[in-house]
Structure 1
């Protein structure tokens, strides 16, 4: 649903609610009358005819010539029949009937019906203008066509009250219709916004899963690539080394599959998870990550100054783990054999700083293919956590990754 379907809800209309348009305000846009329209039009015709009959009886009681009485009745009948045209030409019909009712009181009922329809289907400005003319006509009618059975003051008061009642009632009906239309439009808009929010949440979830999958699997698959390359370039290695490399490949494959199961488990519905699923990594599991890298043949020194890793918020600890994991993965890819240093410092209120550094590689490096998105993903992860991340080459040709993350006191 677009705003062009409801032009009365455009900003200009909202700024001036009295000039809002409603469905059916423009008579030519209505292809045909509904059953409800026929019922309403019939009731309106009968109301106009009833008022006209009362006025015609008063005209016969007055000292009017017979031709005048007949003319009043004919004009009143035409005015009542004209009520059926009020939906198509409400403004023109109301103006005409106001002028006619000034000299033919029998048309007063039809004039009230036309005013009611005008106030329901048209904005405030034309209603105010024609309403003022109708009030003026109600004041002038007792002088143009006096009624000997009642006083002039009573006629004026009755005419003014009838006009104000018709316009006030109609404006109340219009306000209610405007409220219904506004609530319906608001409901449709809320439904559309809810759909957009759901799509955005799905997109963000996909991006988060993709980043998590890269952070987790890149570490494992790099181990596979490095040790498989070692077996390829050293076919004559001692059996013990071959067995050790094959064991690392097997363990890394199992770990990669397990991590993949955990990531895919995020997509499961609540209650479908496996009770044996491992918890998400935190700062307390950083030692295990370093030990795993050392087992794979890396030289890693860890300087963890956090005495109580469990006190670090889970999200912050997980981010530190992923940054360290990506730093070790990149060092293994681009500086094999180099000693990697990992340091974690900080405390509550001052934040948490993690740094991963490696010097330049000693010899030729066999390039391991990568996506090039790991550091970008880490930067986004640190930024979303309220921190920052810097990375780049060092003066000695090595590489360093340093991140600061908030740790509330």
Structure 2
């Protein structure tokens, strides 16, 4: 048993309207064919009318079957007095078979409708040898070719609309993905900026407050409180600068410019003051070739790497030397190296979270560089005659086509 698909609601309306119109014309005695026919009785025209109206129920759900049955019904209609509504509903079946059928079926119907129209025109001209044969060919074209070509145009338009809609949805999806990635990247940038600007000051405050609480000495306590105050004020200023950057319009003065390599001296001097209580001694060896300008993203990344490395030495390094070394030339790569004593006796310390190394690694990755951090053992010149050290090394390509890694 074959389960026919349920007809569409509009198809039911079309079939009912077509059948009612055909019955009305039949009752009025209006027919399309004159002369002798194999089935000349008027009632014979009702059978093709009913069959074609029935195929309208399948025009959307089973267009191929509807076209095959409808074609046979129209051929029978030509042998009866005929009904114009039967032909009109058949043209709709041809149209629907192209619009709702498979792409291969639509191409075949278009091809065969063209071939039938041309063959009918030529055949009737050869048979009748009268100009009236062109009218027959035109009628065949109106019944077969015209609905087929209309269906092709409608189908192409719908496919173009579907393609445009799909492209718009893909564009919207890509835009949403880009927006989400931009939000994530901006949040990561803000996290690195906040950490690098504030962690140094808070670490110094934690270290010196620990020293002030653990040592019962007025001079030491006063020095510690002085350093705490200086770092508190500096940290507050940095926080205000970051808030100014995050606001669309704060009404305040423009935020301070991003730090540059020229500020490394002051940065090391501040670290020297903050690390005095822990027995840390800081030195800066700037061997950069400054004949050509250093790209701003590279300079900012190098500054932040040195800043975070110095913060980490205040938190974790043993008493001893902390050396900052910069080398390289424009057009090549800048190498930033920070070494400090590792292991041994440690003074007052601040807790660490490990996010500093992650931030430094991200900054270097954004510029396409190389980042290394970890303990080393040796006594050569690179280690300053020391035993075990902790070394941070970043190689930053000095190119000007990268986005800032603030």
Q: Same fold (TM over 0.5)?
A: yes
The structure-2 alpha-carbon separation of the partners of 1:283 and 1:42, relative to structure 1 and needing over 3 Å to count, comes to farther
* Number of residue pairs aligned between Structure 1 and Structure 2: 372
Deviation of the 1:89 alpha carbon: 4.0
Q: How does 1:276-295 map to 2 (within 5 A)?
A: 276-295=254-273
> 8 Å contact 2:272–2:282 — kept in the other structure?
yes
1:164 paired residue among 145, 162, 180: 145
Give the match for residue 177 of structure 1. 158
> 8 Å contact 1:334–1:365 — kept in the other structure?
no
1:59 paired residue among 33, 37, 47: 33
> 8 Å contact 1:290–1:300 — kept in the other structure?
yes
> Counterparts of 2:99 and 2:40 in 1: how far apart (Å)?
34
Return 306-315 or 326-335, whichever deviates more: 306-315
2:296 paired residue among 294, 314, 318: 314
The structure-2 alpha-carbon separation of the partners of 1:94 and 1:275, relative to structure 1 and needing over 3 Å to count, comes to same
**TM-score, normalization by structure 1:** 0.77
> 8 Å contact 2:19–2:50 — kept in the other structure?
no
> 8 Å contact 1:119–1:127 — kept in the other structure?
yes
Q: Secondary structure at the match of 1:349?
A: coil
Give the match for residue 388 of structure 2. 397
Note if 1:246 corresponds to 2:225: yes
The structure-2 alpha-carbon separation of the partners of 1:322 and 1:231, relative to structure 1 and needing over 3 Å to count, comes to same
| Cα shift readout 1:282-316 (whole Å, capped 9, x = no counterpart) | 21211121121223224211111236499222211
> Counterparts of 2:198 and 2:371 in 1: how far apart (Å)?
21
Q: Which runs of 5+ in 2 are unaligned?
A: 378-386, 401-406
The structure-2 alpha-carbon separation of the partners of 1:376 and 1:280, relative to structure 1 and needing over 3 Å to count, comes to same
> Counterparts of 2:268 and 2:32 in 1: how far apart (Å)?
107
Give the match for residue 345 of structure 1. 327
The structure-2 alpha-carbon separation of the partners of 1:334 and 1:97, relative to structure 1 and needing over 3 Å to count, comes to closer
**TM-score, normalization by structure 2:** 0.77
Deviation of the 1:68 alpha carbon: 1.3
Give the match for residue 366 of structure 2. 384
The structure-2 alpha-carbon separation of the partners of 1:382 and 1:199, relative to structure 1 and needing over 3 Å to count, comes to same
Question: What RMSD, in angstroms, separates the aligned Cα atoms of the two structures?
Answer: 3.9
> 8 Å contact 2:113–2:148 — kept in the other structure?
no
Deviation of the 1:328 alpha carbon: 1.3
Return 332-341 or 162-171, whichever deviates more: 332-341
Return 255-264 or 283-292, whichever deviates more: 255-264
